[in-house]
Structure 1
Amino acid sequence: MTDALTPRELVDIAAAAADSKGGEDFVALDVSGPLPLVDAFLLVTGRNERNVGAISDEIETRMHEAGIKRIRREGRAEGRWVLLDFGDLVVHVFHEQERIFYGLERLWKDCPVIPIDLPQHSAPE
């Protein structure tokens, strides 16, 4: 079904899922130029190992509901950097320290940024 969805739509589904579990510091990159088998990376930060796990689980659930199968998952047991490969989209869910240390934004800085449309949150009353 990923053929029916654009990379931006895939990013938006995954980002909305991550946002619903407290994901932060979203960056989506179009990596289709240097990586012909992948269209986009989504980078997300979780506050701690438990949060990283919850974010990655919710992304998998929402992508599955959208008919998108996960091809590969790595790092779930450690909860420091979870990689979710959905074919056209690869999601990296980082613990804050790993996000800074590995600096994927620096490595892929020449790639175009994909705008992310997150759902609006209502203000507390």
Structure 2
Amino acid sequence: MESHAQALTGASEESVAMVRLAAQAADEKKAEDLVALDVSARMPLADIFLVASGSNERQVVAIAEGIEEALHGMGAKAVRREGVREGRWALLDFNGLIVHVMHQEDRAYYELERLWKDCPVVELG
């Protein structure tokens, strides 16, 4: 199935593997509404955006930290991280994968999925 998903997207196999591990880690921290979008055709700096929601600031921080820990286990380190301590919108940049962990209210306000609606969805399971 990975090869089929790979054929439909321009994302690298490494980015697809990273997003699936990140999504699993986010799910373990009870993240909601996980969506992965292949942005490779529209953004030269990344292959995939993963967007996840937390219901409060503490959960946003826990989700972001859980993702960092899981990806660190596969040798990936965030080259940039913003907003993690504040717990409203944590951005983790792993080069090919950019993770947005957002408080539910902020996610509803900014509607990232609407902004990137033309991008293919990457299957997480």
TM-score by length of 1: 0.88
Q: Higher helix fraction: Structure 1 or Structure 2?
A: 2
Secondary structure of 1:76's counterpart equals coil
Structure 1 residue 103 corresponds to structure 2 residue 111? yes
- Number of equivalences: 114
Identity %: 54
The yes-or-no answer on 1:71 pairing with 2:79 is yes
Query: Are 1:89 and 2:97 counterparts?
Result: yes
Give the gaps of 5 or more residues in structure 2.
1-11
Alpha-carbon distance, 1:5 to partner: 4.7
Q: Which string of whole-angstrom CA distances, capped at 9 and with x for unpartnered residues, describes residues 32-89 of structure 1?
A: 0110120000000011000000000000000000111110000012100000000000
Is 1:61 the counterpart of 2:69? The answer is yes
The aligned amino acid for 2:47 is D
Q: CA deviation at 1:104?
A: 0.3
Instruction: Give the RMSD, CA atoms, in angstroms.
Output: 1.1
Q: Which runs of 5+ in 1 are unaligned?
A: 118-125
TM-score (norm 2): 0.88
